[in-house]
């Protein structure tokens, strides 16, 4: 008997969805950052073993923010839920143990759609490694089981890989029978160009303060594998919605952009397993987060 299924990873921003997917795949397919709303697309990660293939659908965090980009992000998360066989909801247990009042507020938009999805639901109570005082987790578990009475609960640390085997075996129990749909060595359906743009965006998240990363987007303009035998040439544009942010992204004498470029180039080279020449440009495109055409061109929305 072979199993095949789509497993949606859903949860509030910053809950650890992308970290969990990367943990299962043993490599970074989705970018991760300490800030909320890092993931902007539905990103697949394919886990293949002898008797099962699971396609994890990592999704943007479910939030209550306004604006077109945010609406597009929610749409892709809900589409993942609709296209899944099993739902895994991730919660940041460390956050809710320390700040219980945030729990209902953050989970509110998730409760009904998940309960009404008609799919088996597993709740991954994440970041348990950060909970020093374990009894503070009890009210979190109690409240979560009120919100999702039908669900099963598994405490995990996505970062350290604790409880993740248990979670996976519960997922496998619920996944339907079916043949594999992807070759066993395929790890994602995302093209490498997209992954390269994401790597650059991740470096932006780490190098920029405050709200800046939320109004940046990355587009690969040139991807040239032909001109040089031993090297891939990549030109990427970093878009920012505000003129005064351009200077911050570039930094004094280009120092910030240089740092982003160096870090991103190393990681893209690792991904491609070959040398990479990366050039980065910064362009201002005011109001892009409200421009549906541009959002779609950036791969946001479906």
Which positions touch ligand GTP (CB under 6 A)? 11, 13-19, 32-34, 36-39, 60-61, 126-127, 129-130, 157-159
Measured from the Cβ of residue 66, the count of other Cβ atoms closer than 10 Å reads 8
Minimum separation from the CB atom of position 124 to ligand GTP (A)? 9
Minimum separation from the CB atom of position 202 to ligand GTP (A)? 9
Out of ligand GTP, Mg ion, none, what residue 188 binds, judged by CB under 5 to 8 A for its kind, is none
Point out which span in 13-21, 168-176, 241-249, 283-291 binds Mg ion (CB under 5 A): 13-21
Run of H or E residues at 8: strand 3-10
Considering the complex, state which of residue 18 and residue 23 has its C-beta at the smaller distance from Mg ion. 18
Considering the complex, state which of residue 9 and residue 249 has its C-beta at the smaller distance from ligand GTP. 9
Question: Are 207 and 254 within 8 A, CB to CB?
Answer: no
Taking the C-alpha atoms of residue 27 and residue 233, their distance in angstroms, rounded to an integer, is 24
Look at residues 253, 257, 255, 252 and name the one whose alpha carbon lies nearest to residue 282. 257
**What are the residues facing 155 on neighbouring strands?**
125
Question: Are 215 and 290 within 8 A, CB to CB?
Answer: no
Considering the complex, state which of residue 53 and residue 126 has its C-beta at the smaller distance from ligand GTP. 126
Taking the C-alpha atoms of residue 74 and residue 61, their distance in angstroms, rounded to an integer, is 8
Strands (E) in 93-200, as ranges, are: 121-126, 152-155
Out of 18, 44, 216, 256, the residue judged to bind Mg ion by CB under 5 A: 18
Minimum separation from the CB atom of position 38 to Mg ion (A)? 5
Minimum separation from the CB atom of position 162 to ligand GTP (A)? 8
Considering the complex, state which of residue 153 and residue 223 has its C-beta at the smaller distance from ligand GTP. 153
Total residues belonging to the chain: 302
Point out which span in 34-42, 49-57, 150-158, 292-300 binds Mg ion (CB under 5 A): 34-42
Cβ-based neighbours of 223, under 8 Å, separated by 6 or more: 193, 196, 232, 233, 234
Query: Which sign, positive or negative, has the C-alpha torsion 23, 27, 32, 34?
Result: positive
Out of Mg ion, ligand GTP, none, what residue 213 binds, judged by CB under 5 to 8 A for its kind, is none
Out of Mg ion, ligand GTP, none, what residue 164 binds, judged by CB under 5 to 8 A for its kind, is none
Minimum separation from the CB atom of position 20 to ligand GTP (A)? 7
Point out which span in 17-25, 111-119, 201-209, 235-243 binds Mg ion (CB under 5 A): 17-25
Residue 39 binds Mg ion, judged by CB under 5 A: yes
Out of Mg ion, ligand GTP, none, what residue 126 binds, judged by CB under 5 to 8 A for its kind, is ligand GTP
Q: Which residue has the tokens 């002898």?
A: 50
Question: Are 24 and 164 within 8 A, CB to CB?
Answer: yes
Q: Which residue has the tokens 């001109």?
A: 227
Binding site for Mg ion (CB under 5 A): 17-18, 38-39
């Amino acid at each position: 008997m072979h199993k095949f299924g789509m497993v949606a990873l859903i949860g509030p921003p910053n809950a650890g969805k992308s970290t969990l997917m990367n943990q299962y795949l043993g490599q970074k397919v989705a970018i991760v950052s300490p800030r909320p709303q890092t993931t902007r697309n539905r990103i697949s990660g394919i886990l293949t073993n002898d008797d099962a293939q699971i396609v994890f659908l990592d999704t943007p965090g479910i939030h209550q923010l306004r604006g077109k980009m945010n609406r597009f992000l929610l749409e892709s998360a809900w589409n993942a839920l609709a296209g899944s066989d099993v739902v895994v909801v991730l919660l940041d247990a460390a956050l809710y143990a320390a700040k219980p009042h945030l729990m209902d507020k953050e989970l509110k938009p998730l409760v009904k759609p998940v309960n009404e999805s008609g799919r088996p639901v597993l709740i991954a109570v994440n970041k348990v490694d950060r909970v020093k005082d374990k009894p503070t987790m009890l009210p979190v578990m109690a409240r979560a089981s009120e919100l999702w009475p039908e669900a099963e609960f598994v405490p995990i640390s996505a970062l350290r890989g604790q409880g993740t085997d248990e979670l996976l075996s519960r997922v496998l129990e619920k996944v339907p029978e079916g043949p594999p749909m992807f070759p066993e060595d395929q790890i994602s359906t995302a093209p490498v160009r997209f992954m390269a743009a994401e790597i650059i965006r991740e470096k932006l998240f780490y190098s920029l303060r405050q709200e800046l990363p939320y109004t940046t987007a990355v587009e690969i303009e040139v991807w040239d594998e032909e001109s040089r035998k031993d090297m891939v040439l990549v030109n990427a544009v970093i878009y920012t919605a505000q003129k005064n942010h351009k200077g911050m992204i570039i930094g004094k004498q280009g120092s910030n952009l240089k740092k982003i470029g160096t870090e991103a180039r190393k990681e893209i080279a690792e991904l491609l397993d070959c040398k990479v020449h990366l050039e980065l440009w910064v362009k201002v495109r005011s109001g892009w987060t409200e421009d549906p055409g541009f959002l779609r061109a950036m791969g946001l929305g479906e």
